[in-house]
Structure 1
């Protein structure tokens, strides 16, 4: 199970400061939320793919994300036309169920928006190490303790999952076969495994607390940084360019109504 999506590389996106990447992703998310036009949303989705491919993210990673988004996309496409209200030509009428052309367009628009937001967020996760991302959040004002907690959670999620797998495999080696039971009996059979994982996680957290205390965590002294982040001239140029483009987009969207209609 993958918890870290980072793809090592040396592209211009990899070299950007995490704060400028957060701004870029925030702008893409804001544009996705404000747009309804199908062509513009499709263009944003294509842009995110070009940025990811340009950063060296392989097609396998993009296919992995599309596979995760496929159920949600299908769910939106099926349900949104049913519950959407509005005009348009009637495409299907089954008693109280009425599906119109505007409802179908709204469903496609919502599905595109969800995928744009997912791939825009992945743009940050695929090209930024977890520790660097946390460091950027701390430099933006997030308390250091919260940033450390977030970083440790990302680091130890695979460890906790490994504990679960080890305990399940040990139980199976002793003849434990919950899959042959009913649903309720199966859930009850997993209870001892869950208890064992919780106990192991508590022991791990206690050891981690002792290790942090031994390293002076919480001491009233200035903290040092092993690998600091730096906001370079390229970061400043990218941030200014993205901000100006987003300002022009907001002016066109709010004052001229760009992208307000689905088609």
Structure 2
């Protein structure tokens, strides 16, 4: 179920940080993670992110429950690339036509860890940031256009409706006797059709919302005042500096150990 319920209290350490600073941390960590194809760099970054959770006021158990689909996606990326990637190397395991080599395992582990290292900070940012504060920070610190910031706020607010609409579509189909039972093929077909119905509903709702916002003057070019000032405090700069040091340290360790593989 899709939920945007906060992982930490509004008074928590990470919740009180400036949204622009948190986006900067995500950008720095993501840049370091995608700059290499070795598994050590994203592994170090991921370890640092998990070690920082308790200090940010976030319980690891609650975070893992929120990220279970992310963990499943990273595992799928690892397995698919490990089994089907043709990277040469020595054969570790062979079952029929499928061969598992050490080079393919290396590639799969690197991609899976990279997915986690990039996605975990994003989950933390959006689970500890108020959407209104995020829109205000986009305008004030990042100088984003008001149209983009307000549109982002509206989209953020609409996301929880997708979960409710998914349940509504599923219950409506079940009431009409449309059920896949234990047939995996029928389950995939039912999932695809439900996803398509959800997509159509989301597009229609987004179109109506955009028209309503334009009718209320959200696209006006007149200067806007600031009702909720967002400031970059010293602790926000410390957080950004710590992210840069962690990213540089992860890359430096990989280079020192001779496993760094630059993406270029």
Tell me if TM exceeds 0.5: yes
Q: Which residue of 1 aligns with 2:48?
A: 47
Q: Within 2, Cα distance between the matches of 1:150 and 1:75?
A: 30
SS in 1 for 2:235: helix
Gaps in structure 1 of 5+ consecutive residues? none
Q: Which residue of 1 aligns with 2:2?
A: 2
Residues 17 and 229 in structure 1, CA contact (< 8 A), matched pair in contact too:
yes
Q: Which residue of 2 aligns with 1:147?
A: 149
CA distance 1:19–1:169, change in 2 (3 Å) = same
TM-score (norm 1): 0.73
Bigger radius of gyration, 1 or 2?
A: 1
CA distance 1:156–1:101, change in 2 (3 Å) = closer
Aligned length: 254
Gaps in structure 2 of 5+ consecutive residues? none
Counterparts of 1:28-47 in structure 2, within 5 Å, are 28-47=29-48
SS in 1 for 2:10: coil
Q: Within 2, Cα distance between the matches of 1:176 and 1:5?
A: 32
TM-score (norm 2): 0.73
Alpha-carbon distance, 1:78 to partner: 2.4
SS in 2 for 1:179: coil
Residues 39 and 114 in structure 2, CA contact (< 8 A), matched pair in contact too:
no
Alpha-carbon distance, 1:77 to partner: 3.0
SS in 2 for 1:12: coil
Instruction: State whether structure 2 residue 120 is matched by structure 1 residue 116.
Output: no
Q: Which residue of 2 aligns with 1:103?
A: 104
SS in 2 for 1:147: helix
SS in 1 for 2:32: helix
Instruction: State whether structure 2 residue 15 is matched by structure 1 residue 14.
Output: yes
Q: What CA RMSD, in Å, does the superposition of the two structures yield over aligned residues? A: 4.2
Q: Within 2, Cα distance between the matches of 1:37 and 1:45?
A: 13
Q: Indicate the larger mover: 98-107 or 236-245.
A: 236-245
Alpha-carbon distance, 1:145 to partner: 0.8
Counterparts of 1:1-263 in structure 2, within 5 Å, are 1-7=1-7, 8-82=9-83, 83-87=85-89, 89-93=90-94, 97-139=98-140, 140-159=142-161, 161-162=163-164, 165=167, 176-179=176-179, 183=186, 201=205, 205=209, 209=212, 213-214=215-216, 216-243=217-244, 246=247, 252=252, 259-260=259-260
Alpha-carbon distance, 1:52 to partner: 2.4
